Chain A
């Protein structure tokens, strides 16, 4: 354990503080930098950060304890986190992780004795199309295999700074396999803004309304309605029409780039190669609701994109597309700030995201009030998905009718799918809504497809019998994940992986999810170890019901979907694993005697069960 003197800590913190405003909303950003500098958050740093921001120490500790990428105990100088999505596992993640651990003489989940390295798992890093993937000190490693791990082990042993590692280890490809209007047609920065300003804010809202655009983050709420609610909140508050009144500081546009749903990685590609489109969509939104400040909430896993995104923002400022007097309009200023997440899926939930933006633990708020009326710092706030903003830019440029002509009546436009799993060409596919699963499977070269997890663990599992269903809000709604499983895959392991994911990501606020996800996990592990019984299945159904109907937010209410779906569609995968007996003990009886056997040296018959 490294020891830090008070003065060392001050010296380390001074430049970090200098980079951030003295506003508690910067707390998480500061903690991320401290984690980088010290490989953990020392207790002395917590004291000084609390004093600096004038917040109680216990609040800083609460934030440090909430996010997976922060730790209050040292992690390795080289911290390797293997992405633990089922697609990574299917590509051999478990075996590769052990391989690396053996090479580095470190146990999974532990820090090596010299403090040099730690190796552990982390929730899906959004690189399923080029897995197995991992993060080293936050930087993504892709296409891992033994050769690459040999090299990585060597680099670590020779203590080479991560910045000097060969760039090929960090290559992240876009893998765009099919493009349509969003990805396939050129976009000139400023085009949508010019059209918006020419048309007027109210009229642009009318175009978004006409487009029938629905949110791409999963829930499918109609974007124009959300914006007009935000609008109405402001009107009610200020008694004025807002569209044409610029310059009100206190309302916000937030772009949700948390992309934490396992198997989803389309926002990664939008931000990597279409950032202008996304930022422009945010600017259009700002004009419509009269916001002057926007945030991009970027998941910690995508930190590697931070620099280039900052430079896109800077270019836009230089081009008069951001900042004061946008495109020469004295009444329109708007700027965007990027906030990093730190490893918490729940921060994709919009009200938890806002809490996190404010520098707190990411726990979903009570609703009502909704963010559109009481969001960031209590002010009206629009939170939309990355892809939603990209669509908005296109709609502002080309009109609502143009957009509404694509897709189906209830699901207009196109949808980006992140395809991974058992297929020849994983990557990003843009389709007009209404496309059948069968068509998609053919296009991505799926091998003997058996099941598809649509929209990730919180979405829907469909079996081969349902391949004629369509991607659309009215049939199979999706935030974009599309994980393909072939016949030889064990769908029980898939469900178990997802159950572990939810238990790990539950924020812990409400009883049904905090305890229920853990109970699900324990039962799935019991079944996996060969000790499950029929009564365990009944228990899972009843837990599923409680999670669905009693949870505080969408995480808990969808946390049973993988189990309930597999139980309904692939009951055999459970039955095959069950004991014939009606009852099996909750724990391994013989295993629970192991300590006693060791301590007495006994191994007689009576020392076993």
Chain B
């Protein structure tokens, strides 16, 4: 799963359990804290995360969620695992991503967009300047129009990039989106201290 062979043991030691099941940690062991976010993505990977269906209940016994689109927490506290959907397309994405990298012990890139830019990266062969002029200035009925410049709006990058070109990433989970099964397999491996490994049919780029 990881492409850096020189990594040490996984930082989340949990008692080993059988394939595909999650056993509550012995005694009063602390729950694993997970944060997730969507940068330049479509929330599809998050939807797929929900696709692990009733297994979610088992998961909830083991983990607790920090900042995610589900919890509405605005900033990450210290977390064990950060899961990032989407590539980096603007300045705000960088701030969020860096916050994740700084607060999460393990950072996971989930989905095609986080891994190679994905569909949003299709804009990479369109010149940003020309594109914005076309949209905001030359389009019919926009006489005197202007590119929005409100400081609240994050400035877009020239190109969309995968997150590993901006911060160090520990694990990759490809797919557009990865299936619920793939996510489940990945998480259970990770939470059980195994090097995550997808079966052939779970590994796909689309």
List chain B residues, Cβ under 8 A from A593: 91, 155-157
Q: What are the interface flags for A579-609 relative to B under an 8 Å C-beta threshold, 1 for contact and 0 otherwise?
A: 0001101110100111111111110101111
Kindly provide the distance from the CB of A596 to the nearest chain B CB, expressed in whole angstroms.
4
Within the complex, what minimum Cβ distance (angstroms) separates B143 from chain A?
A: 18
List the B side residues contacting A586 at CB < 8 Å: 161, 165-166
Smallest CB separation, B38 vs chain A (Å) = 20
Query: In the bound complex, do residue B129 and residue A592 qualify as a contact, i.e. CB atoms below 8 Å apart?
Result: no
Contacts of A600 in B (CB 8 A): 147-149, 155
B151 touches A596 (CB 8 A): no
CB interface residues, B 147-200, toward A, < 8 Å: 147-149, 151, 154-159, 161, 165-168
| With A601-B149, A606-B151: A596-B165 Cβ-Cβ less than 8 Å | no
Q: Render B132-152 as a binary contact track against A, CB cut-off 8 A, 1 for contact.
A: 110000000000000111010
B99 CB to closest chain A CB, in angstroms?
A: 13
Closest-CB distance, A102 to chain B (whole angstroms): 27
Task: Determine whether the beta carbon of B91 is less than 8 Å from that of A599.
Answer: no
Judge whether A609 and B94 touch: CB under 8 Å.
Answer: yes
Q: How far is the CA of A414 from the CA of B127 in the complex (A)?
A: 58
Q: Which residue of A lies closest to B157 (CB)?
A: A592
Which A residues touch B155, using CB under 8 A? 593, 596-597, 600, 602, 606-607
Minimum distance in angstroms from B149 CB to a CB of chain A: 4
Contact across chains for A583 and B168 when beta carbons are under 8 A apart = yes
Contacts A597-B155, A600-B147, A600-B155; is A606 near B91 (CB within 8 Å)?
yes
User: When the two chains form their complex, are residues B166 and A596 in contact, meaning their CB atoms are under 8 A apart?
Assistant: no
Q: How far is the CA of A601 from the CA of B146 in the complex (A)?
A: 10
Contacts of B156 in A (CB 8 A): 593, 596
Residues A585 and B151 in contact in the complex (CB < 8 Å), given A592-B158, A593-B91, A609-B91? no
Residues of A within 8 A of B91 (CB): 593, 606-609
Known: A586-B165, A596-B128. A602 touches B157 (CB 8 A): no
Q: What separation, in Å, do the CA atoms of A596 and B91 have in the docked complex? A: 10
* Complex: A158 Cα to B65 Cα, angstroms: 75
Contacts of B166 in A (CB 8 A): 585-586, 589
Note all chain B residues with C-beta closer than 8 A to A585: 165-167
B128 touches A599 (CB 8 A): yes
Complex CA distance for A602 and B157, rounded to whole angstroms: 14
Give Cα A607–Cα B156 distance, bound, in whole angstroms: 9
Contact of B154 among A595, A599, A601, A606 (CB under 8 A): A606
**Chain A residue, CB-CB nearest to B154:** A606
Interface size on B, as a range, is: 20 to 34
Nearest residue (CB) in A for B152 is A606
State A594–B158 Cα separation when bound (angstroms): 8
Smallest beta-carbon distance B132→chain A, Å: 5
Shortest Cβ distance from residue B115 to the other chain A in the assembled complex, whole angstroms:
14
Residue numbers in A under 8 Å from B132 (CB-CB)? 599
Label chain B's interface by main secondary structure. Answer: mixed
**What distance in Å separates the Cβ of B169 from its nearest Cβ neighbour in chain A?**
10
Q: Is the CB of B94 within 8 A of A604?
A: no
Is there an interface contact between B148 and A587, defined as CB atoms closer than 8 Å? no
Given the complex, which residues of B lie within 8 Å of A596, measured CB to CB?
128, 155-158
CB neighbours (8 Å) of B133 from chain A are 599
If A583-B168, A587-B161, A587-B165 touch, does A595 touch B129 (CB 8 Å cutoff)?
A: yes
Chain B residue nearest in CB terms to A607: B155
Q: Mark B90-128, 1 if CB is under 8 A from A, else 0.
A: 010010000000000000000000000000000000001
Complex contacts, B149 vs chain A, CB 8 Å: 600-602
CB distance from B145 to the nearest CB of A (A): 13
- Assuming the A-B contacts A582-B168, A587-B165, A598-B129, are A604 and B151 also in contact, with contact meaning beta carbons closer than 8 angstroms in the complex? yes
Contacts of B147 in A (CB 8 A): 599-600
Instruction: For the complex formed, measure the closest distance between the CB of A115 and the CB atoms of chain B, giving whole angstroms.
Output: 26
- With both chains docked as a complex, state the minimum distance between the C-beta of B140 and any C-beta of chain A, in angstroms: 20
Question: How far apart sit A602 and B153, CA to CA, in the bound complex (Å)?
Answer: 11
Contacts of B129 in A (CB 8 A): 595, 598-599
Contacts of A602 in B (CB 8 A): 149, 151, 155
A607 to B129, CA, bound (A): 16
Interfacial chain A residues near B151, Cβ < 8 Å: 602, 604, 606-607
Residues of A close to B161: CB separation below 8 A? 586-587
* Whole-angstrom CA separation of A598 from B155 in the bound complex: 11
For B94, the chain A residues whose CB sits under 8 A away are 589, 609
| B58 → A minimal CB distance (Å) | 35
**Nearest neighbor of A594 in chain B, beta-carbon distance:** B158
Bound-state CA distance A606–B155 (Å) is 8
Q: A583 with B167: in contact, given A596-B128, A599-B132, A606-B91 (CB under 8 Å)?
A: yes
- Are A595 and B167 in contact (CB-based, < 8 A)? no
- Chain B residue numbers with a CB within 8 Å of A595 are 128-129, 158
Give the residues in chain A near B165, CB-CB below 8 Å: 585-587
Could you say which residues of chain B place their CB within 8 Å of the CB of A607? 91, 151, 155
**Inter-chain contacts of B158 with A (CB < 8 A):** 592, 594-596
Report the separation of the CA atoms of residues A606 and B94 in the bound assembly, to the nearest whole angstrom.
11
List 5 A-B pairs, minimum CB-CB distance, nearest first: A600-B149, A586-B165, A596-B155, A583-B168, A592-B157
27 A-B pairs in the complex with CB atoms less than 8 angstroms apart: A582-B168, A583-B167, A585-B165, A585-B166, A585-B167, A586-B161, A587-B161, A589-B166, A592-B157, A593-B155, A593-B156, A593-B157, A595-B128, A595-B158, A596-B155, A596-B158, A597-B155, A599-B128, A599-B133, A599-B147, A600-B147, A602-B151, A606-B91, A606-B151, A607-B151, A607-B155, A608-B91
17 more CB-based (< 8 A) A-B contacts, given A585-B165, A593-B155, A599-B147? A585-B166, A587-B161, A592-B159, A593-B156, A593-B157, A597-B155, A598-B129, A600-B149, A602-B155, A606-B91, A606-B151, A606-B155, A607-B91, A607-B151, A608-B91, A609-B91, A609-B94
